[in-house]
Amino acid sequence: VSTMSRDNTPTRRTTATIKRYSPAPGGMHRYEWRINPGEDIAEMTKPEGYFPIISWLSHKASGDPTPIDASFLDVKRTWEYTFHERHAAQWRVGRIFLLGDAAHLMPAFAGAGMTAAIRDCANLVWKVKAVLDGRADQSILDSYQLERSPHVAITTAYSQRLGRIIQVKNPIKAALRNAYYRTIKHIPGLREYTTSLKGKPVPGFTEGFVSSVRKPGSPVGRTFPNYDVGTENGRMLLDDYVGYNFAIFGLDVDPRTLMDERTVDQWVRYGARFVTIRTATLIVDADEVGDPVGRLWEWFGRMNGAKLAIVRPDHIVYAVDSDGGSLGPL
Ligand SMILES: Cc1cc2nc3c(=O)[nH]c(=O)nc-3n(C[C@H](O)[C@H](O)[C@H](O)COP(=O)(O)OP(=O)(O)OC[C@H]3O[C@@H](n4cnc5c(N)ncnc54)[C@H](O)[C@@H]3O)c2cc1C
């Protein structure tokens, strides 16, 4: 191909995302690189076009001098694409909602477009059902954009920043970046932080369908932890145990005993599950989860000694009792 140099390695002015040693699901690997001006896309998507680049990138990333054997390569797909960035101003008109890429597009560098789409669905669907079942007022539907849009905006900005690092064209900046990444490979903690994109913005909002009273540092509007817990049916992740329902947790106490009767009735109308967390055990009864090493206990401890947490079907914390706010649905 046109990008081969005299020593038979591709001379690329740009970098690539390489997953040789950290395969994607299904044991697959994804290689991406930018098409430079003057390069022929049709040529690049032929084996003669992409194989030398994959081989070269793999070698560069791993330092492993063993060349990849082309006959072992089972190529599932080659594709050429362009990134766009869009953010719709209005995600709802009456009964019509925009979700996923229809509402927002971001460059793919953070691997977050589909996850944002899934979060959109998780955020909206229980609200639509609550309205259809006559349990909630239609105004709850406006909280969808209010809650999701800011997270999408900061994730898009994060993705752009990653793109600027990945696609740097200036050779000096690229060399500095490469030196930085080669160095942090040897620094545990920083290596994991970088390779597993730990800096990706976590969801969190202050306006929407959440208890209106919260203290600084409150978990309200953020995701509830998804730990491994004991249940009457064995160990599982807390999210799997709870399912797509409201869940009201009490730390070593039946949460109903911490609320007045009217509030309990209101949550029953929302289909809430009442779950008692039992600390330092895996052996529990129905409507209880065991917190074997006290990770949930620690979480509650950090919330100014809260004993009760109300969690929405999308696993966002609606309220904690230490905030002293309304524990009933707004
Ligand atoms: C190269 C690349 C890599 C990516 N990597 C990641 C990643 O690692 N992680 C991640 O989370 N996200 C990633 N994304 C983003 C992710 O693919 C999208 O955000 C996600 O597919 C959006 O899902 P969606 O259902 O909203 O839209 P789409 O996947 O676009 O689905 C919309 C569907 O509607 C169909 N359709 C359109 N018009 C009509 C019509 N009139 N009638 C009927 N059907 C219609 C389309 O054919 C399509 O099947 C990546 C994107 C790209 C381009």
| Structure-derived torsion over alpha carbons of residues 74, 79, 85, 86, reported in degrees to the nearest 10 | -100
pLDDT at 128 over 70: yes
Alpha helices (H) in 63-170, listed in sequence order: 113-132, 143-166
Residues composing the chain: 330
pLDDT band at 21 (very low <50, low <70, confident <90, very high): low
pLDDT at 325: 67
- Could you report the per-residue pLDDT of 28-78, keeping only the tens digit for each? 777 888 888 888 889 888 888 888 888 887 777 667 777 777 887 888 889
pLDDT at 290: 98
Which residue(s) pair with 10 in the sheet?
4
pLDDT band at 187 (very low <50, low <70, confident <90, very high): confident
Distance from the alpha carbon of residue 100 to the mean position of ligand 1, in angstroms: 8
pLDDT at 15: 55
pLDDT at 5: 42
For range 239-255, the mean pLDDT: 96
Residue nearest to atom 4 of ligand 1 (CA): 108
pLDDT at 14: 52
Residues in contact with ligand 1 by the CB-under-6-Å rule are 81, 100-102, 108, 111-115, 117
pLDDT at 22: 59
pTM, to two decimals: 0.87
Distance from the alpha carbon of residue 102 to the mean position of ligand 1, in angstroms: 9
Which of residues 70 and 130 earns the better pLDDT score? 130
Residue nearest to atom 3 of ligand 1 (CA): 108
- Could you report the per-residue pLDDT of 256-310, keeping only the tens digit for each? 999 999 999 999 988 999 999 999 999 999 999 999 999 999 999 998 889 999 9
pLDDT at 26: 78
Contact 86/104 with Cβ under 8 angstroms? yes
- Could you report the per-residue pLDDT of 306-322, keeping only the tens digit for each? 999 999 999 999 999 98
pLDDT at 18: 56
pLDDT band at 19 (very low <50, low <70, confident <90, very high): low
Residue nearest to atom 21 of ligand 1 (CA): 114
The share of the chain scoring above pLDDT 90, in percent, equals 51
Sheet holding 247-251, edge to edge: 234-237, 228-231, 288-291, 273-279, 247-251, 308-311, 317-320
